[in-house]
Each structure stands twice: as C-alpha cells, then as structure tokens.
A and B are shown apart, each in its own frame.
Chain A
Amino acid sequence: MNDLGTLPDWAGLAPALALVGTALLLFLYDMIEPDSQNNLLLAGIAGIGSLTALGFAGWFLLAGTGQPDRGGAIELFDGQLVVDAMALFFMAIFASVTLLVVVASYDYLAGRANQAAYYSLVMLAATGMAVMATADSFVTAFISLELASLPSYALVASLKQNQGSVEAGLKYFLVGALSSAIFVYGISLIYVETGVLQFGEVATALASGELSGVVGLGILFIIGGFAFKTASVPFHFWAPEAYEGAPAPISAFLSSASKAAGFVLAFRVFLTALPRGSVEGTLDWVIAFQVLAIVTMTVANFAALRQEKVKRMLAYSSVGHAGFVLIALGALTSEANRSFVLGSGMAHLLVYGFMNTGAFLVIALTEHWGIGREIEDFNGLATQAPFACAALTVFLFSLAGLPLGGGFLSKFYLLLAAIDGEVALLAIALVVNSAVSVFYYTRVVKAMWVEEPADDLAIEGYPSGLYVAITFAVVLTVLLLPGFGFVLEFTSTAAETVVPG
C-alpha cells in the first residue's frame, strides 16, 4: 500500500498535520507572549502553515498518491482514516480557502484583541475539515466534524464587543448542538443494526442482513447532520445569522470550506458506508437528497431576492449553492454515470471555494472601510474602488453562472449531471433558480457601477492583504473557466475511487 516511495503511510496526512502543527505553534506563541498585537507574525505563521498544507496536498495530488495507479487509497489506523484522491483534492480546497482567509485577516484584524486565538482557531477548524475529508469511520467522522464545528462557533463570536457577532455565535452553537445530537443519534441507530462503525464494514454488514426500519431512521438523521454542516434547508437557519454576524473572513471560511467539508464527508458516507444497493428497502437517500436539493435551491434563492443587506444576500446565495451541490448526490441514480455526477459536484465545490470566498472577502474590504451593509450603501462604489468592484462583479456573475468565471462551466456540468441522472426536476430547478439568482446578484453590480455615489462615500486606504487575497481569488475564478476541463477530468477520476463497483 505504500506509494509514497520512501515516505511512510502516515505521511499521507501531511496536510492535516501541517495545519494542526501550525495551530499548536500559534498556541505556543500565545503562551509566551499573550495579547500580542504582532499581526504580521501571527498571520505569517498561519499563512505559511496553510501554504505548507496546500503544498503537501498539491504535491500528493500531482504525484498520484492514493490513486489506483500508485497503489490505491492509503488506509490508516485500521481503516479509521483513508487518504485518496478525493481526500487530497478537498484538503487542497480547504488549505487554499484557509490561506485566502488568513491573508485577508491580516488587515481585518489589525488592532483587535485575541489575534493569536483567532488564527489558531482557524487552523484548528481547518484541521477538523482536513480530517473530515479523510474520515473512514463514523467515529472519526463525528470527532472531526466536531473539531471543525467547535472552533467555528468561537470564531463567529470572536468580535466579543459586537452584539451581533456574539448573538450569531450563540445561535450557531445552539442549532449546531441540536444538529450534532441528531447526527450522532443517527450514527447510533446504524450501529445498533450493524455493530460496526468503519464505513466499509458498515456497508458489508448492511448488505448481508435483513434490515430493520431503524436503518432508514438512522440514514435520515445522518442526512440531517450533513444538512447542518452544509447549511442546507431545513438545517440552514443558523447560516444567514452566523454569516452576517461573523467577521467577514470567517463568513468566507465557513460558507466555502466548512460547506465543502460537509460535502466531502457526505460523499464518502453515502457512497462507501451506506451505498444505495446495500440499504435498499429502507430509505432511498438519492430521493431524499433530490428533495433537499430542490427545496434548498428554491427557498434560499427566493429568500435572497428580498434581502437588503449584501452580506445576508450572500449568505442565502451560499445556502442556495449547497442546493446546487446537493444535485451531485441527488443525481446518483442507477442511470447515471456516477463518477461523472460526483466529479461535477466536486469540481463545483472547488470553483465555488474561490468565487464565494472572494465575494465575502470583498465584503470584508467594505467592512474594513466602514461602508454600510445595505445594497444601497454600495452605490457608486466603483468610482472609488474600481478593482475591488470589478472583482466582486466577476465573483457574483460567476456565482450566478454567467461566463465571467468558472462558475458558468461548473453549473453547466451540474446541469449535465442532473440530465445524466435523468432527474428532470433537478435540472429544471437548477435552471430556474440560476435565473432567479441573476436578479439579486445584478442588483449589487448595478449599485456599484450604475448608481450615483452618495456624497459622503469615501474610502481610506487600500489594504494590501485583502487586495492580495481578492486578486488571488479573482485570478483563479477566471482561470477556472478555460482550465475547467482539466479540473473535471481530475475530479471524475478521483470520484471513480469512491464510487462502488
């Protein structure tokens, strides 16, 4: 199984180890010098840590680690963790988003307290997500999910003096606690039936015996747990509040990376532990995801229509995108070319990671400037900050699925996936909701470029960190338009290792 040449198997976890190591380093620094305001050093450590993680993930991906031609997936700790192409692909997404968030936070946190805690919590949450991508057992799945969630609650509430932030953190925590309870209850029901927790063994056990109704209940509750993590209806209530109350870089982090983490775990659980063939006769999760996808897309996009605050509108758009990615699970019918369907979902998450993070980072920039939160506060912003506005335009139109960025192609392939799975309703919902979304994204673009600026619109300074992060995100978003074929080819291959038989 060893395909890292001279490296031992556990080296496959290097991206996660780099992240957790950085978190511990930041703790150590905080112990030695509490209340440090040395933002550059702290952001630098966190940035180098995430860059290292990205480097490892990228290296392993290019070297073919965990792929069939290099010895197949690496199983660690008795099959509790697994490193394969899908895990590494998602680790790369998490590390990139973390890097963007850390670079952007350099300006955003300037002059605020508890910076070391902030960065170490970000790194811990990223570690949790990275482990989620590798989890191959319900135990590690639950622990890593909590490892990703608990720092997130604290991060949402990290603006301690801001009532909105604290309130959002508490609500997030309460809904999160409820959802975790539901999730772990679902796991316990599966355990009752099978007596094992490792994904592969669960599938074998389910396939071999007569199944009781308790399995269906368990599956539904597990779906609930993922719906929370991916902010899908009806477990999305926390999202608009948390994204709006949280510091904008954290909103970016949660809406991009955290959502992707929920999806990668969902992909693995439903394809390896609860494959459709093994749980036949209980609850057809493909249908359940179709329902969730349609409801999530529709509720979120229509709710976004009436939002007046840009950040909250983006929050709903992010919920809506959870619905789009759910297509990748809902279209896994027996007619579908399943690795293509799954690969489309994974590719969309990558594109989404950059365009959505970028959009929230532009919001972080406006918060940094002290511009109001309403759409009309953005009136004429392009006269003052044309580059930032152009970037936001690219992000929003790419999110809407217009061919300014990779979002156009990734949505198009989700549509092809829905057609491939022969689920017409999903395809229709995707098209209709994309059309609806163009409306509310365009409102912001129109405000920035067309409307006259208010008299007192003035911005001071062009923070370098935020601009660097936004530039990086916009370049990648645009490059993913011509480069999408390559990504899709890769994700489809990665998906093949997960899709059973």
Chain B
Amino acid sequence: MMGTTALTTLAGTATVPQFISLATKDVFKLAPAIALFPLASFFISLFLGKRMPKGGALAGIAATIASLALSVWLVIELAIGGGTYQETLYTFVGGASDSAVVEHTGVELTFGLLIDPLAALMLVIVSLISLLVHLFSLGYMNDEGETGLPRYYAGLGLFTFSMLAFVYSDNLLMAFVFFELVGVCSYLLIGFWFREDAPPSAAKKAFLITRFGDYFFLIGVVAIFATFGTTAFAGENSFVTMAADGLNPDVAAEGIDTPGVSEDTWFTVLGLLVLGGVVGKSAQFPLHTWLPDAMEGPTPVSALIHAATMVAAGVYLVARMYGFFALLPTVLAVIALIGGFTALFAATMALVKQELKQVLAYSTISQYGYMMLALGGGGYVAGVFHLTTHAIFKALLFLGAGSVIIAMHHNENMWEMGGLKDRMPVTYATFLAGSLALAGIFPFAGFWSKDEVLFETLAHGLGGSPILLIAYGFGALAVVLTGLYTFRMVFLTFHGEPRTDTAEDPETVGWSVKLPLVVLGVLSVVGGVLNMGVLKDIIGESNLFLHEWLDGATMDTDLGALSASHYSEVLEADYGAGYEVTDLSPLGPGVVALVFAVVGVGAAWYLYSGADPEPKMTRLGRVRTVLLRNYYQDEYQAWLATGLTLPFSRIADKFDRGLIDGIVNGIGTVSMVVGRQFRQIQTGVVTNYAALLAFSLLLLLFAFGFVGGWF
C-alpha cells in the first residue's frame, strides 16, 4: 500500500512539470476558436459582405462577441484556479509523424497556444476593443455612406484574427508570423481610402518603417533558433529557461550554441535584435515616424490598430519574453532609455499640433514610451498595467475624436472647433474622462498606471542604476507636458465659443458611436482599481489585483517561470540584470507625479481656457517650427532613403544587371548551345542509336576497367 502511494507521487512529479499543469478543462480546448472566429468573419465579409446588410459588419460583431466571451471565460477559469495552458496545435516542419525530417535537419517548427494570465488579459483587451470598434464603425463608416465596406470589415476581421493569434503564440516564430500579419492588416487599413493621395503613401511608409525594424527581429528569431534550437516561450525547454540556465553559474546548461563570444554578450545581441522589431512596431524613437502618418486611415482603425492593440504588440512581446530580457542589463537599460526619451520627445511634438488625431498620435507614441520605460526599469507589472489602461483610455480618446470628426464633417483642425461640450455632452463627458486618465489625474485609470511606471523606475534606479534615473527624469518631465497637451486639446475642442459654423451646428451622432464611448469611459474612470499601487502600504499588497493576477496567485498551480515574482528574482539575481530595489514608499513619488500632472493641466487652463483662446505656442518662435516639423525626423529619414540608400542601390543595381545578370544570361546562352548539341544526338536513325549505345557501354567498360585495374 505504501509502495503504491510513493510510486504514484513519483510518477506525478516526473510527468507534470511543476510550473505548468496541463489543464484539460474544456474551455482551453476551445481557445483556438478565439482567433478563428474573426478569421471566419474575415472570409464572410470578404466574399459575402456585399450581399449582407451593413457590409459584413454583423459578422465581425458576432465574431468579436464570441471571442470576447471565450476570452472572459478563460480569465474566469484562470481566476478560479485553472492552470496555465500550453499546447502544440500544428507541426509544420518536423514532428513525431515525420521523424526523418527531425533526424536530418534537427528542426521542428510548430504553431501552438500559450495561455497564461498575461495572454488571457491581452486577449480580453484585444477582443473587447475590437468589438467596440466594430460597433463604432457602424456609425463612422456605414452611416457616413462609405464604399468598400466589405473590404473594411474583412480587414478588421483579419487584423483581429492575427492580433489574437499573436497574443497566444507559444513560440517566437509563430509570434513573428502573426506580428507580420498584423503589419499587413495595418497597411491595408491605413490605405483604405486608396483613391486619395495621402493614405496610400502613409500606408507604404508605415509598412516600410516597421519592416525595417522587423528585419532585425527576423534575424533575431533565426539567431535564437540557431542558438537554442527552439523558440518556445515557456516550459523546461524554452529558450527563456535555457538562457537563464546558461547564465546561471549554479546550473549546468547544455544545448546552447553561441558563435564564439561569451553567453551574456551573445544574448544581449539577440535581445537587441528582437528589440528592433519592438521599436518599429511600438513606434519608439527613432522608428516612430510612421505612426502620425498612419492617422490617414479611418479613425476606428486608428483606435483599434494604431493606439490600443497593434502598436501594443511590440511592448507585449517584451512582456511575453520578459524572462529573457530580465537577464540582460544592457538591453533593459536601452529599453528604459528609449522609452523615457520617446515619452518626452513625442510629448513635446504633441504640444503644437493643430489636428485632433495628430495630438493623439504623438500622445500614443509618448505613452508607449512609458510602457517601455516600465519594462526597462524592471516594472513588469507596471508595464502591463499601463498597457491595459492605455488601451482603454486611448481607444476612448480616438473614438471620441472620431465622434467629433463626424460632428465636424471630417474637419480635424482644433482651431476650427470650440464649444462642442454643450452640443455633444456624451462625447464630451467620456472624452474628458479619457483625458483625465491620459493626463494622470487622480483617481482616473491612467494615474495609477503611470504612477506605478514612474515609481518602479525610480525604485530600481535609486538601487544603483543611474541610467534608470535619467530615464525617470525624462518620464517625469513628460508628465507635465502630457497634462498640458491633453488639456490644450480638450479646451480647444470642447470649451470656449464655437469658432466656425460647423462647430456651431455639429452633426449628431448615433447610439453605435455613443455606446462604445460610454463603456470605455466608465472603464477609464474605474480601471485603476486593478492595481492601486500608490496605496500599497494602506490597502495591502494582496489587494493589488493585477500584481496578484500576473503572479499567478489566483491559480491552483505555481505560475513558475512566467510569474511576476520570478521576473523580480531574475532581475535581482547576480546572473540577471542585477537590479536592486530601494525600499521606498510609493506614496511620495505618487504625490510628486500628481503634482506634475496638475501643473500641466493648470498651465493648459491658464493658456487656453478663455472663451476665445489665442494660439499661445506661436510665442515659442523657432522652437515651434522645429516642433511642428517633428524635429526634422521625416526629413532626415527621407534623406537616408533618397540620399544614401538610393545611390547605393543604384550601384547594386548596376552590379546586379551588369555582372550577375551577365553571368546568368551567359549561362543561359551556353545552356541553349549545349542543349542544341544534345538534341542533335537524337538523329532518328536507329542504327546510330545502336552504335552509340554500344560505344557508350564500351566506354563505361574501359573507364571502369581502367580505374578498377582489370587490365
């Protein structure tokens, strides 16, 4: 009896990895459908959209409702104790049924699912916002009488599919595939109005610039494959775990193949390569220039793709493989610096923009900078928290802007608005909630998350990482500017007297516009409850729900290497980033951040709150011009393309056409001549054949006889 029990226990520990229990709950079996519903809506909208009412919107709405329901179910399942779910769905190269491949190439490429608290949270965010954007589109696209609606809804469906699949990818290669696919959807939707001049050009720019970053990412994927032989995110044999083992002197690691440099150097290179894709996709300096142009797309698309979700893909990727980045202090410092700098840099440009969506675009860049700052500064939970709240309030602001744009008959210039608050109260109230969240005013959602970003960076920075303190300085300064540009936007748009006839008598908007605004508006007000880090000392750590969630505290099994506390351990380990945390009360820095934000808002009130505000930024003179021209970023990038790359390409073209094509054509000509000779062997005379046959045999005979030494 005793023996049996012992045996069972032993078998149990041997077969089930400690950190991942393979839950067999039914809902996990349904998980692939989360992404497949929008894929189906893509096909339905594409092929049947013309024959359907609303141009295929209903299929998309139904699909996203289904995805959202399943995602929420997954969250509940995890919240009441379910374990992380990881499963390989499809092996497209290698695999057990085809052992010869693995034997001869040593490669196995798979598609699989990884559903942990992080992925489940993101699935809910993406499907929720996608649903609301579909609804909003009914008002923005259908009611405005746009043509090409099936194409529009097909694009949204394909995007939602790709994004959801990206989120639950269980390996880097699959993530890369869907990372690229969301890029394609972004391209298609930015260029939705392809008959005008600007949208196709903006689409091209977005595609090319993100592609530039993705080159590095692709090389990174291949290099990670070559180094570890796997790109899995989680599990015993994931590259994350292998990298940690490789750097940890206490663990004997094997199977890591670095090209002649030390492991930490090589891993840093790998991390920087992947970071290339992140910087491109999340619009970080210096690859941020595509995002403002991407505003040429329909506004709901801007809300979904270029604010809440796709742009988040880069940051999400860092969070997804945070166990890897947490090992690399250099890469973390780069991430924090890029993030902090981008946050400040983009905020300065947002100050002078005159078009509503442009302000929001630069604000988006700036806010993603905060997320990068958090992740680089060791605040994994803070980064994910800000990702969550930002998705909500920025989607809200974009949709609110969309509502204003409908009302203003597609005039986006804020100087031609004014006084809209009385004429569109729902839009105003929700937009204000979103703005307060964005500016970081207590107690709106953005306050809690932004504060936590800054606090985590500061706490790690004071622990002996001066670079983080610099990045913190950038971030804190950007808080003031954020308050200023946000409320400049609010005052100019909604307050004062109407400055044009359109603003005097704006078009009314329908329920399909208001409903998403209200949902997101409520979430923007209360979203902070997720993680009230500032009050940690008062409410106790166990009431920081997001932290507990990401730490796997709600699950029956240990989240292990995917948990927030594991990441902290790695960050603080000698073989990891070597960060140290100063014991600091979050209350003080929280108050400081709030004061900064209030200063910014107050400045906006002082400058723009009158009945008929003047353009105050003109007083900046030359500086304003620089800001308006976006620090000449576009100019120097265009010069890089035309002044540097183009001449080089011309030389390459000459080389290709002259030398390579010459050789190829030469080979072709020679082949043709040889072909004619060979063809002429076939004379059609059968005696010739017999003779040739006999002579060839004799030739072979002599050749082999000679070589074999028969004579």
Contact = CB atoms under 8 A, between A and B. Distances in A.
Is A bound to B? Answer: yes
Interface of A: 170-171, 174-175, 178-179, 182, 213, 216-217, 220-221, 224, 233-235, 237-238, 240-241, 281-284, 287-288, 291, 299, 302-307, 340, 343, 413, 416, 420, 436, 439, 485-486, 488-489, 492
A299 B98 contact: no
Interface centre among A216, A305, A439 (most CB of B within 10 A): A305
Nearest to B672: A305
Contacts of B700: 220, 288, 291
Contacts of B686: 170-171, 174-175
Given A234-B692, A420-B104, A302 B675 contact: yes
6 contacts: A182-B697, A220-B704, A234-B693, A306-B672, A420-B104, A485-B97
A489 B102 CA distance: 12
A304 B676 CA distance: 9
Contacts of A305: 671-672, 675
A178 B690 CA distance: 8
Counting from the closest, the 5 A-B pairs by CB-CB distance are A485-B98, A234-B696, A305-B675, A237-B689, A303-B678
B701 A174 contact: no
Contact of A175 (B97, B104, B689): B689
Contacts of B98: 485-486, 488-489
Given A170-B686, A303-B681, A303-B682, 9 more contacts: A178-B693, A241-B684, A299-B681, A303-B678, A307-B679, A485-B97, A485-B100, A488-B100, A489-B99
A489 B696 CA distance: 38
Given A213-B710, A216-B704, A235 B675 contact: no
A287 B704 CA distance: 9
Interface in B404-460: none
B641 interface: no
B100 A237 contact: no
Given A288-B700, A303-B678, A436-B671, A485 B101 contact: yes
B692 A283 contact: no
A170 B668 CA distance: 36
Contacts of B674: 302
Contacts of A492: 100
B697 A237 contact: no
Nearest to A212: B710
B615 interface: no
Interface string B12-28: 00000000000000000
Contact of B671 (A182, A302, A485): A302
B693 A237 contact: yes
A238 B99 contact: no
A88 B676 CA distance: 41
B708 interface: yes
B708 A283 contact: yes
B689 A288 contact: no
Interface in B246-292: none
B643 interface: no
A248 B489 CA distance: 77
A309 to B, nearest CB: 11
Nearest to B704: A283
Contacts of B710: 213, 216
A175 B100 contact: no
B705 interface: yes
Nearest to B98: A485
A170 B684 CA distance: 12
Nearest to A308: B679
Contact of B676 (A221, A238, A241, A306): A306
A302 B8 CA distance: 67
B543 to A, nearest CB: 52
Given A178-B690, A234-B696, A288-B700, A416 B104 contact: yes
A296 to B, nearest CB: 11
B708 to A, nearest CB: 6
Contacts of B696: 233-234
A284 B705 CA distance: 11
A488 B101 CA distance: 10
Contacts of B678: 299, 302-303, 306
Contact of A489 (B100, B672, B690, B692): B100
A316 B692 CA distance: 18
Given A175-B686, A237-B682, A288 B704 contact: yes
A466 B674 CA distance: 37
Interface centre among B98, B704, B705 (most CB of A within 10 A): B704
A335 B686 CA distance: 41
A194 B620 CA distance: 105
A240 B697 CA distance: 20
B674 to A, nearest CB: 5
Contacts of B690: 174-175, 178
A240 B708 contact: no
Contacts of B95: 485
B689 A171 contact: yes
A238 B700 CA distance: 20
Nearest to A217: B701
Contacts of A283: 704, 708
A416 B694 CA distance: 34
A39 B605 CA distance: 95
B679 to A, nearest CB: 5
A216 B708 contact: yes
B100 A306 contact: no
A492 B98 CA distance: 11
A303 B675 contact: yes
A297 to B, nearest CB: 12
B94 to A, nearest CB: 9
Contacts of A343: 100
B697 to A, nearest CB: 6
Contacts of B99: 489
Interface string B71-105: 00000000000000000000000010111110110
B708 A238 contact: no
A489 B676 CA distance: 41
Contact of B697 (A216, A220, A291, A306): A220
A238 B686 CA distance: 8
Contacts of A216: 704-705, 708, 710
Contacts of B692: 234, 237
A114 B701 CA distance: 44
A224 B95 CA distance: 41
A238 B689 contact: yes
Interface string B448-484: 0000000000000000000000000000000000000
Interface string B654-680: 000000000000001001101110110
Contacts of B104: 340, 416, 420
A179 B675 CA distance: 26
B667 to A, nearest CB: 9
Contacts of B668: 439
A284 B690 CA distance: 26
A183 to B, nearest CB: 11
Contacts of B676: 306
A240 B101 contact: no
Nearest to B685: A171
Contacts of B694: 178
Contacts of A217: 701
A237 B675 CA distance: 16
Contacts of B704: 216, 220, 283, 287-288
A240 B705 contact: no
A158 B415 CA distance: 89
B679 A306 contact: yes
Interface string B96-118: 01111101100000000000000
A485 B708 CA distance: 40
A384 to B, nearest CB: 27
Interface in B100-156: 100-101, 103-104
Contacts of A287: 704
A281 B692 CA distance: 28
A416 B103 CA distance: 11
Contact of A340 (B100, B671, B705): B100
